[in-house]
Amino acid sequence: MSNPTRPPLKPLQQAWEELLAYAVPLAAPELVPTHEADGRVLAESIRAELQVPPQDNSAMDGYAVRSADIAQAGIALPVSQRIAAGDNGQPLAAGTVARIFTGAPIPPGADAVVMQEDTAAQPDGAVAFNAVPTAGQNVRRAGEDITRGAEILAAGTRLTPAELGQAASVGRAQLLVARRPRVALLSTGDELIMPGEVAPQDMRPGSIYNSNRFFLRSLLVRLGCEVHDMGNVPDSREATVAALREAGASFDLVLTSGGVSVGEEDHIKPAVQLLGQLHLWQLAIKPGKPFAYGTVGQAHFIGLPGNPVSSFVTFLLLVRPFVLRLQGLSQLEPPRVAMRADFDWARPDKRQEFLRVRRNANDGLDLYPNQSSGVLTSVVWGDGLIDNPGGGTIRRGDTVRFIPFAELLV
Ligand code: AMP
Ligand code: MG
């Protein structure tokens, strides 16, 4: 029986759509050097002001020829010029060839390049050709990569090394990119201590090390955020309100972990309701039910569960697309790959589940044996998640939907 005082848990798909509707892209893009733009999101469309390559050029080290001059194999011709990459050749005199190197411009009059392996130098300095060349062979055509005026990169593209190279190939030393979201990161919990502060043998009973703070920070940095780690907030209403008020005043997003469930020591939800608005709370997913979205002051607020696996998984599923959308990215849905389960999952949860699995040598998926939301080893061991519908039993050999971490950790 459902409890009439508690709204039903929100399905992930619905939460995703609502959450992303709140993620309005940040204003005020900035110009950055192309060589520092890796991972940033383009805020302009890049058009080529030139064709690439700019001129016809040689794909090989060898000889630029007029193909009509070599009507049969064995013909030898004198070398009238030498053109290296960066040189500009002269028109090729009929009945002669040009020594040419990869990337050097094809001289006017030449229509093919014969690779040097297919030639033989003669004692008199001429060159003999072992085969008859065809017009156009080993010539890289001007504009074959990029035509002048073409849009090579659209606004909203996340820049990776290949895109940086391409932007440089059309002469762009700077690129207009979305501003980095400024994120305040807070963890909560009186049990949490920091590595380095207390040695394992000196820990008080009940203490644990703060692990979420470390992976959340690094996940945010990878996604282009500017992270301000505001430390750990004690489990009290006053401390929680004070920390959230401060964070809400000067950041784009306030991200917390822990304290967002229904226990007496969970102070996040009432603090958000006091300082702003709570728009989403509690999702029909496992792990990750205690997820919250709202506003505090001027800032977006996202509250992640405290359990490390829940925190990690909800970050990948919801915070990742949120901070990318703030930067103007539109392609946000991770691919679900059809794969074979090499295990049984007989007692599924009613909620949509995200199981930590690993690809095996037979192109199937193995399940980490302990799927508890506190067991971070399952994430380290695994290389992705199965997106399993609520109530979905899995039989060995079934096809399941797999989300590789590799798609989400970039
Ligand atoms: P909470 O959501 O605050 O009730 O926390 C749920 C569980 O996650 C508890 O066992 C906490 O000790 C643990 N936990 C909360 N925050 C962290 C953290 N930052 N690092 C490691 N474990 C945490
Ligand atoms: Mg707690």
Question: pLDDT-based confidence at 410, cuts 50/70/90?
Answer: confident
Contact 34, 175 (CB under 8 A): yes
Q: Considering only 6-15, 127-136, 155-164, 222-231, which range has the smallest mean pLDDT?
A: 6-15
Question: With 70 as the cut, is the pLDDT of residue 3 above it?
Answer: no
Q: What is the arithmetic mean of pLDDT over 237-265?
A: 96
Ligand 1 atom closest to residue 259's alpha carbon, by position in its atom list: 3
Question: Among residues 114, 30, 132, 155, which one has the least CA distance to residue 75?
Answer: 132
Ligand lying nearest the CA atom of residue 258: 1
CA distances from 258 to 156, 352, 402 (A): 33, 21, 27
Q: What is the arithmetic mean of pLDDT over 296-323?
A: 98
Question: pLDDT-based confidence at 7, cuts 50/70/90?
Answer: confident
CA of 311 to the centre of ligand 1 (A): 9
Question: pLDDT-based confidence at 331, cuts 50/70/90?
Answer: confident
Ligand 1 atom closest to residue 191's alpha carbon, by position in its atom list: 12
Q: What is the arithmetic mean of pLDDT over 385-397?
A: 98
Find all residues with CB under 8 Å of 354, minimum gap 6, and list them: 285, 286, 287, 288, 313, 317, 385, 386, 387, 388, 403
Q: What is the arithmetic mean of pLDDT over 134-153?
A: 98
Q: What is the DSSP string of 381-400?
A: H-SEEEEE-TT--B-TT-EE
Ligand 1 atom closest to residue 310's alpha carbon, by position in its atom list: 8
Question: With 80 as the cut, is the pLDDT of residue 258 above it?
Answer: yes
Q: Which two tokens stand for residue 231?
A: 């430390």
CA of 219 to the centre of ligand 1 (A): 18
Widest pairwise Cα distance in the chain: 100
Question: pLDDT-based confidence at 330, cuts 50/70/90?
Answer: confident
Share of the chain above pLDDT 70, in %: 99
pLDDT digits (tens, 9 = 90+) for 66-79: 999 999 999 999 99
pLDDT for the residue 1 = 45
Arithmetic mean of pLDDT over the chain: 97
Q: What is the arithmetic mean of pLDDT over 190-206?
A: 97
Q: Which residue has the least CA distance to atom 23 on ligand 1?
A: 306
Q: What is the arithmetic mean of pLDDT over 45-56?
A: 98
pLDDT for the residue 5 = 66
